[in-house]
Amino acid sequence: MAESYKPTIKEVEKYLKLWDTLENYVLQENALDKLFFETYPHNEDISEILIKASALNDFYSTNIFSIFPVAKHIHSLEIDMRLKSKDISLVNDIALVDMNGKTKNFYSFATKYCSHHDPINYPIYDIYVEKVLMALNKRDKFSKFGKKDLKDYKRFKEIIIEFRKYYGLDEFNLKQIDRYIWQLGKEFFPRKY
């Protein structure tokens, strides 16, 4: 990450405008919003959960090769009341899925699943967000955390809020901060395929 780079209101606004020009991401998000908010807003029917989980897995390339056990797990948790009460422990509960006798941690997917039900209260974790937070914290020390803390959702959300406060970005909601940090990560830490 460029040593001189500093998050500012102007920078966030610039990246939020840039987001609006990314047709594929904007259309995917609109499709997911329609699916999660209008078509299947609840999580009582396993087939509806399966459709939402499959769409997320595809659009976000979360690489879950067998989505049915994940959907079945979400269904077993009866998550609607927990989402309504903004229960952040839900993310870690969704993340841990038994797959053929082994527990898999689909943490990034779980943040996305909750976020698409309530984007303001559930920021999304992914590798780009991790890299930006780690790099800026190493330089600016906006919070006390290590990489492993980012995989504890309660702590992850606190770190995002501390980031926002430290850089004076409180006018932006968590979804806007999420989009900003993610784009920074793609720019400063591009994946090499």
Q: What is the pLDDT of residues 150-170, one digit of tens each?
A: 999 999 999 999 999 999 999
Q: How much is the pLDDT for 3?
A: 80
pLDDT in tens, 96-134: 999 989 999 999 999 999 999 999 999 999 999 999 999
pLDDT at position 9: 98
The 8-class DSSP code of residue 125 comes to P
Are the C-beta atoms of 92 and 123 separated by less than 8 Å?
A: no
Q: What is the mean pLDDT of residues 32-36?
A: 97
Question: With bands split at pLDDT 50, 70 and 90, how would you rate the model's confidence at 4?
Answer: confident
Q: What is the DSSP string of 42-59?
A: -S--HHHHHHHHHHHHHH
Bridge partner list, 92: none
Local structure of 60: helix, strand or coil: coil
Q: Tell me what pLDDT residue 78 has.
A: 95
- Give the tens place of pLDDT for each residue, 7-31: 999 999 999 999 999 999 999 999 9
Q: What pLDDT score was predicted for residue 179?
A: 96
* Residue pLDDT, tens place only, 49-71: 999 999 999 999 888 999 999 99
The β-bridge partners of 96 are 105
pTM: 0.95
Residue 193 has what pLDDT? 62
pLDDT for 174: 96
